[in-house]
Structure 1
Amino acid sequence: MLSACGGAETAQQGELTGQVQVFAAASLNSAGAELEKTFEEENPGVDVSFNYAGSSLLVQQMEQGAAPDLLITADTATMDGATASVPDLADAPVQTLATNRLVLVAATGNPADIHSVQDLGRQGVTVALCAAEVPCGNLAQQELDQQGVQLTGATEEQNVSEVATKVATGAVDAGFIYSTDSAALQKSQDVTEIALPDLESNVYPLAVTASGQQNEAASAFSRWLSEEEAQRILADFGFGSPSSAE
């Protein structure tokens, strides 16, 4: 008989079974849903669940006792901090899942006539960006500092999805989001994307926790994420390949 306890069991027929909990950066939301669906269709005995939030908040939750099988952050600095502060990640194997780029996006119709980062410094222009401790906020601040721009009207959000929502609803004139979020917005809205070529691409590292390494389904899912099918799904949502980080 199969155990009803946590972790994974292998059925007599060789089927993979069990639960996999993934803590993932908010910008992976859309792609993550497709990854989850595809893996579960191929492995009907496995239940994959994602918890999306800003990378720093995910690490904070783990420091407070949360124990997912996998952690995916939106930059290497946050992952480095996690492996140093979370005992369950102390000796965790880390792999690069994908890459992304921060862009500036003006709201539908570009009512504030924004065409560069310099335009954000004009009086009355409202801008949304992630909080400084979140990777997308750190990158946005790097760009603002490089350009010498001081924002006159800024709102800080907990993660990039909240910034994208502010832009999509017209609550702000512009926002710093990832190119993948921008691509999703452009499917339904006439938003203006402004590239930030001076910023390097950010890397999404994936780590398997100590408990995850004991979970056969979690180990299988982490391996699958680096394979062709999963990488194709990520590419379809605009993410760069791990090789682009080299």
Structure 2
Amino acid sequence: MSYFEDLAALLRQEGVPSDRVEATVADLAAHLEESGGADPEAEFGPVDEFARELVPAGGQEPEVPEAHVETWRWTADTYVDEELLNRFGGEGWEVERVDALGRFVSHRDLERPQRWEYRRELVTRGREGLDERLAPEGWEACGNWIVYAWFKRPLAASLGPGAEISAPPGVPGRWRFFSRRFYVLAGVAALAVVLAGVAVAVDDGDADSGFGFAGGLFVGALVPLAAVWGLQVWRSRR
């Protein structure tokens, strides 16, 4: 079987619902295609280890009544994620978790939407009792990604009835939110790759091949950035 077939089988063995398995595998396959990766094992690691990372506690997804909620998945860079979480939390979006692709899986009650607030914490050595320290203030863990952990709490505790939203805005028309600082950082990284290529080529003593190599690196660095930018613009105009 293929990598994704093996992954799906392992997730089902752990009790993950079939519809959740199919959605997860589809997300991962789309991510692999967008990133240009040819080998899923090189991208995600050994299939058995990756399956264990994807399995939620107890093997089940958080239970959310489907009849009265709307769902939305979105992502942002770490320069703006906390600000956006609180903005969207003020519109009634509650984050359930952060998925394998680093997206915030959110839902909102259609009948009685409530306001939420969020905070992000850096966790470089594990959680180290972080959950216990924040729990007395009403904070509840709602997701992890690499070295970050996010926490949520309802504003009803401090605002009372004012935390309920009478007329929430519609679902945002886009799902990627990248700041200018993110694009600047990506550009700097691309430039560093080009400069490294030039340095290597100059050391080889062949100027022509060096400039060709550097040009190839430059174009290669711009292609994914242009694709991301173009996709974001297209989605924002839909």
The alignment's TM-score, normalised by the length of structure 1, stands at 0.26
Bigger relative contact order (CA 8 A; separation at least 6): 1
More helix per residue: 2
More strand per residue: 1
